[in-house]
Amino acid sequence: MIRYLRLFGVQVRASLQTVMQYRADFFVQGAMSLYWLGWNLLPLFILYEDRTAVAGWDFPSALVVIAWFVILRGILEGAINPSLVDVVDKIRTGSFDYLLLKPADSQFLVSTARFDPWRIVDVLGGVALLVYAFVQLGRWPTVADVAAGSLLLASGVIVMYALWIGIVAASFWVIRLDNLTYLLDAVFDTARWPAQIFKGAWRIIFTFILPLALMTTYPAMAILGRIELTTAIACVAASLGLAIGARLLWIGAVRNYTSASS
Amino acid sequence: MSLRATLRAVPTLLRIGVAETVAYRAEFLVWMLTTTLPLVMLGLWTSVASEQPFHGYSSPDFVAYYLATLIVRNLTGSWVVWQINEEVRHGQMSMRLLRPVHPFIQYGVSHVAAVPLRGLVALPIAAIMLFTTARESMSHDAAQVLLFIPSIVAAWLLTFAFLFALGSFAFFLDKAMSLMEVYFGVFAILSGYLIPLSLLPSWLRTLADWLPFRFMLSVPVEILTSRSLGAGRAAELVAAQWIWAAGVLALALTLWRAGVKRFEAVGQ
């Protein structure tokens, strides 16, 4: 365990050293984050200029969902996506073989290979938006609500990570699947809306087939103090289930791995 | 590089383009599926409008609008910035520059070659659109609907030329892809891809009128779906599209020439 923590430290340091060479990127990233924040808010403003509430979500509560979405997107782009883009590339070029030879767990090495620390700007922007939403609501969440919201956000991150690991495992069989991550990105964009706004087939898809509701809607409901205990427990259980599933898929995929170079 | 030589090369380039598209069909399909934004917006706005019409848009109106958007986007989508960027970074650009056909034609033809396969995806959507609830929300003016053909061709040319111009920046900057990100954000709002232009705040709508993005997507969509446009106004809009396309094309070729002058082959 301690060995893995040390290894984690080494990998993070390596990423930091790489990005420190491009310090100006911090400002580029900051500008881009602000830009996308405004972009994300525009449809919301247009919608709520006309309506006071849609499917039980008023403007500040919908802002909470977007805030969670921005934070989650920051984590995704900062900690999950760079590594996985990297590994898909390694699989295609065949240098993944060397990674498998290293005396540490391959999933761990793959998941920590690269970080993009500038994405912290996104996370901070999301937190600012969250604070603003609660100012608009005129009340503050209780400590218990914040704890529940954070716990569900963590399980949202796990769900996302599990999906991404599943994609990488799939790319063992179908070599050129790097654009599948773009597809997931595009689908993930939907998570900025409260799942209840969608009706019928859409909501079923976004809740059960692609668990987007798990990622943003339920964590937002938790910090707003609106979630039922059974739903919260179901969310955590589902995320753990997905994580175990992804782990099994990874082990199976590595066993079936036939190098691209041979 | 005479015109005749270029014309002679076009059929071969087309064949190569089709072969490439077919060879990477799984990838191609995934790329097409990434254009899910109109479907998501469709789901969102139809359920909003089902409570009561939103600024004059009923649920079927939104269905028609976003399906038309999906069709136009599928037929006019371009990945040329990505191509140019990759080729500059990996040093394959020198090979392309050596060929005796202007790269604009080379990339353009490979894009055109993908259109039939893209059409395979877009046409069933069109059929669904015509025969379900959205039929009432389409334009019934035959002359106006016919104008869709020159309109979509102009939209394709305008989009492609614009992105070719953006791609030329790969010669000047090493971050041409973030330029693409900025472009997509502006495009999505000001072209009506995200939200119908008539729902935007008035200052954004004015901005949209003066920029080329509207002519890339919103105009053909309006021609298909707007019942109040009329053939005369539609013809004016198509003319404006062609003027924009010609202007942007000239700009793109100038930028490209300036870029190639600066080009230092990297890589092998």
B103-114 per-position pLDDT tens digit? 888 888 888 888
CA dihedral B117, B122, B128, B129 (to 10 degrees): -160
**Per-residue confidence (pLDDT) for residue B77, from 0 to 100:** 82
Q: Is the pLDDT of residue A174 over 70?
A: no
Q: Quote the pTM value.
A: 0.81
Does residue B30 lie in a domain region? Answer: yes
Residue B182 sits at the chain A interface (C-beta within 8 Å)? yes
- Min Cα distance B225 → chain A (Å) is 21
Evaluate whether residue B141 is within a structural domain: yes
* Contact flag A179-B30 (C-beta cutoff 8 Å): yes
The pLDDT of residue A262 is 45
In this prediction, residue B115 carries a pLDDT of 81
Chain A CB contacts of B201 below 8 Å: 46
Q: Does B200 touch chain A (CB under 8 A)?
A: yes
- pLDDT band of B249, cuts 50, 70, 90: very high
Considering only the C-alpha atoms of chain B, give the largest distance between any 2 of them, rounded to a whole number of Å: 62
In whole angstroms, what is the distance from residue A246 CA to residue B172 CA?
42
What pLDDT is stored for residue B268 in this prediction? 44
More confident position, A94 or B255: B255
Residue with tokens 């269905």: B63
Check whether A259 has a pLDDT greater than 70. Answer: no
Distance, in Å, from the CA atom of A6 to the CA atom of B143, rounded to the nearest integer, reads: 71
Out of B33, B35, B47, the one facing A199 most closely (by C-beta) is: B47
What pLDDT is stored for residue B243 in this prediction? 93
pLDDT at B3 over 50: yes
pLDDT tier, B183 (very low <50, low <70, confident <90, very high otherwise): confident
Interface contact B43-A35, CB threshold 8 A: no
Query: What proportion of chain B, given as a percentage, has pLDDT over 90?
Result: 12
Structural domain harbouring B83:
3-262
pLDDT of residue B84: 84
SS3 call for A199 = coil
Closest CA to A190 of A174, A176, A202: A202
Contact flag B47-A183 (C-beta cutoff 8 Å):
no
Asked if residue B8 belongs to a domain, the reply is yes
Residue B268 lies in a domain: no
Q: Answer yes or no: is pLDDT of A136 > 60.
A: yes
In this complex, do B178 and A186 lie within 8 Å of one another by their Cβ atoms?
no
The rounded distance, in Å, linking the Cα atoms of B187 and B178 is: 14
The count of structural domains within chain B is: 1
CA distance B182 to A56: 34
Alpha carbon of B187: minimum distance to chain A alpha carbons (Å): 11
Lowest-pLDDT range of A3-12, B144-153, B219-228: A3-12
